[in-house]
């Protein structure tokens, strides 16, 4: 099954730590950057929302570390999103190229904060697969 | 209940992002630094192990984000550890001072890799509460 | 000669890179954090200014790397500031404890941007040695 | 005049700070990554050297900040290198696309440390313009 979105990366040496592999927290940066690039293609960047009093906020995160990335490795970070109640669940894999070996799996729960309170933000439904332009007038 | 270990921090401005709050991945750095400081008091630092062919590796991570930290905030990161099979489970809270308000809860699963393979490393049992110096001759 | 301000630090493992020493860019973070803490004690934080349309901006930076910091090292970052025209020059040393060995010397030129243009901002003169509260009514 | 090497980047949101622009220390990361990618194309990565007891070390750095980069900006970091005595001087520009507007100019002095002492390392001469494969047998 093909992912909804995929971002290409190459490990930068400064992202690696004492153990000679990418530091764990950096993988969270990779998944965040991939989500933000996906939002940018669909909605115009998180700053676009922020100015209208809407913030997307990470409420919860689960990561499984399967294999490390090393200096110079190329990889993709995939993204699929589904909705549960007010939550948007982003399922993401970090796959080392060229063999697309699974290095990290991450599940991130994002909610909307509207004017400072947890709220409904149906505009984000444009992120869901198959929604695209039918329901959302931009 | 008092935690086994507690590390004091103050937010640095460069750890905050566009939204004016600490970036999510930075909380993972805070929990990592707290674990490593704890290990350092008990065992002498992760480099000490590394030289003997033993690496402690994060296999899994869960984080719940309850409230953000802002520039200048002071906080502690607590640590409690228990063992399940070959896994060491670190339960950690990030608590904003002075009221010790829960900002982030993290559960991190650490395993040992001995000469490149998942393995037993009983020396880490010295990290468990109540073990201290009885069983472990250093 | 004693510095105007001094900030205490301890190296965090995640700040070290492949070579087993603190990554060069991290020293820039240390000097920035020290300047911001100094500003906070004198003026109330950079966000305080930002809201009034004033931003302090780094225009120029020089760093000399004399000796590396390693995991677990404790150190101070010192700060002295002088004014030249519209520029504030921050001279800072990173000194490894306990012997106060010079690791990095940094000279950072900061200017004020007032409503988007390079400008005069005499309030910052309170940062200069000997100015304190005499000339500046807060 | 065309640069010897050029690396393409896109700003990641997490590289921006409270002021909504890329944090100053991140530009140092950009220049470091560009140098390391250049070394990788010429010599096979800094780890390649490290294993033979040779480390390339930054001795000195000068940066001038002309204009900020913002979320989503694309840019290149250029590189030219020349030799002075035992020093390799890397002159680098960060140019915002598409107009190639100068944002940061950096001059970085790199020296070789051979078995722990400042030393001669003629293999690095392959980095100089016009040297390529004539003098260096790989």
Domain edges within chain A: 5-127
* Average pLDDT estimate for C28-51: 86
User: What sign has the CA pseudo-torsion B27, B29, B31, B33?
Assistant: negative
Q: Do you know the residue count of chain B?
A: 138
User: Two tokens at C87?
Assistant: 């520029």
E strand spans, chain A:
5-10, 54-65, 74-84, 87-96, 101-114, 117-119
Q: Do you know the residue count of chain C?
A: 138
Task: Give the pLDDT confidence of A54-66 residue by residue, as tens digits.
Answer: 888 999 999 999 9
The proportion of chain A whose per-residue pLDDT surpasses 90, expressed as a percent, equals 67
Per DSSP, the three-state class of D47 is helix
Q: Scan for tokens 């940018």, then name that residue.
A: A40
How many angstroms separate the CA of residue D104 from the nearest CA in chain B?
19
The DSSP call for residue D111 is E
In the predicted model, is pLDDT for residue D136 greater than 50? no
Query: Can you give the pLDDT at residue C135?
Result: 40
Query: Can you give the pLDDT at residue D6?
Result: 97
Spatial distance between the Cα atoms of D23 and D11, rounded to a whole number of angstroms: 11
Contact of D70 with D20, CB cutoff 8 Å: yes
Most confident of A45-49, C53-57, D12-16, D39-43: D12-16
Lowest-confidence pick of A89-98, B37-46, C57-66, D45-54: D45-54
Spatial distance between the Cα atoms of A73 and D71, rounded to a whole number of angstroms: 25
- Chain B hits for C13, CB-CB cut-off 8 Å, are 32-33, 36, 46
How many angstroms separate the CA of residue A72 from the nearest CA in chain D?
8
Cβ within 8 Å, pair A18-C16: yes
Spatial distance between the Cα atoms of A8 and D88, rounded to a whole number of angstroms: 32
Q: Does B89 touch chain D (CB under 8 A)?
A: no
- Chain A hits for B55, CB-CB cut-off 8 Å, are 19
Query: Can you give the pLDDT at residue B34?
Result: 97
- D60 forms beta bridges with C64, D109
How many angstroms separate the CA of residue D48 from the nearest CA in chain A?
11
Cβ within 8 Å, pair C18-A20: yes
Q: Nearest CB to A32: which of D14, D20, D29?
A: D14
Average pLDDT, chain D: 89
Of the listed A13, A17, A73, A122, which one is catalytic?
Answer: A17
Query: Can you give the pLDDT at residue A47?
Result: 67
Q: Nearest CB to B24: which of A24, A26, A32?
A: A32
Backbone φ and ψ for B89, nearest 5 degrees, come out as -105, 115
Report residue D120's pLDDT band, with 50, 70 and 90 as the boundaries.
confident
Question: B108 Cβ partners below 8 Å, 6+ apart?
Answer: B31, B35, B58, B60, B61, B62, B89, B90, B92
User: Two tokens at A7?
Assistant: 């971002």
With b meaning 16 or more CB within 10 Å and e meaning fewer, what string describes B98-126?
eeeeebbbbebbbbbbeeeeeeebeebeb
Question: B124 Cβ partners below 8 Å, 6+ apart?
Answer: B43, B56, B88, B112
Lowest-confidence pick of A28-32, D21-25, D85-89, D115-119: D115-119
Q: Which residues of B are catalytic?
A: 17
Query: Can you give the pLDDT at residue C51?
Result: 74
- D9 forms beta bridges with D75
- Chain A hits for D34, CB-CB cut-off 8 Å, are none
Between residues A138 and A93, the one the model is more confident about: A93
Spatial distance between the Cα atoms of C85 and C80, rounded to a whole number of angstroms: 17
In the predicted model, is pLDDT for residue A86 greater than 60? yes
Kindly tell me the burial class for residue B4, based on how many C-beta atoms sit within 10 Å of its own C-beta (0-12, 13-18, 19 or more).
middle
In the predicted model, is pLDDT for residue D134 greater than 90? no
Task: Give the pLDDT confidence of C78-123 residue by residue, as tens digits.
Answer: 999 999 999 999 999 999 999 999 999 999 999 998 887 888 888 8
Q: Chain D 25-54, CB below 8 Å of chain B: which residues?
A: 25
The proportion of chain C whose per-residue pLDDT surpasses 70, expressed as a percent, equals 93
Cβ within 8 Å, pair B47-C20: yes
- D7 forms beta bridges with D77
**Is residue D17 among the annotated active site residues?**
yes
Q: Scan for tokens 């240390």, then name that residue.
A: C30
* Average pLDDT estimate for A30-42: 94
Q: Does B70 touch chain D (CB under 8 A)?
A: no
In the predicted model, is pLDDT for residue A96 greater than 90? yes
Cβ within 8 Å, pair C12-B20: no
Query: Can you give the pLDDT at residue D32?
Result: 97
Query: Can you give the pLDDT at residue B101?
Result: 98
Query: Can you give the pLDDT at residue B134?
Result: 43
Maximum C-alpha span of chain A:
50
Query: Which architecture does CATH list for D5-127?
Result: Roll (3.10)
Between residues D1 and B112, the one the model is more confident about: B112
In the predicted model, is pLDDT for residue C138 greater than 60? no
Report residue C133's pLDDT band, with 50, 70 and 90 as the boundaries.
very low
Q: Does C22 touch chain A (CB under 8 A)?
A: no
- Half-sphere exposure of residue A42: CA atoms within 13 angstroms, side-chain side: 23
Query: Can you give the pLDDT at residue C53?
Result: 78
- Chain D hits for C46, CB-CB cut-off 8 Å, are 18-19
- Which segments in chain B show pLDDT lower than 50? 133-138
Q: What is the dihedral of CA A15, A17, A23, A25, to 10 degrees?
A: -80
Cβ within 8 Å, pair B24-A19: no
Report residue C132's pLDDT band, with 50, 70 and 90 as the boundaries.
low
* Average pLDDT estimate for A13-37: 95
User: Two tokens at A118?
Assistant: 């947890």
Contact of C78 with C105, CB cutoff 8 Å: no
In the predicted model, is pLDDT for residue D63 greater than 80? yes
Query: Can you give the pLDDT at residue B57?
Result: 92
What is the ipTM, given to two decimal places? Answer: 0.89
User: Two tokens at D7?
Assistant: 């690396």
């Amino acid at each position: 099954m093909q992912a909804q979105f995929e971002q290409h990366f190459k490990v930068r040496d400064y992202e690696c730590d004492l153990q000679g592999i990418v530091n764990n927290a950096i993988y969270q940066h990779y998944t965040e950057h991939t989500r933000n690039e996906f939002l940018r293609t669909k909605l115009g960047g998180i700053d676009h929302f922020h100015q209208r009093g809407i913030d997307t906020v990470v409420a919860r995160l689960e990561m499984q570390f399967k294999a490390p990335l090393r200096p110079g490795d190329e990889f993709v970070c995939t993204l699929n999103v589904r909705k549960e109640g007010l939550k948007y669940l982003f399922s993401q894999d970090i796959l080392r190229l060229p063999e697309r070996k699974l290095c990290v799996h991450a599940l991130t729960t994002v909610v909307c904060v509207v004017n400072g309170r947890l709220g409904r933000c149906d505009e984000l439904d444009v992120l869901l697969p198959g929604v695209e332009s039918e329901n959302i007038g931009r």
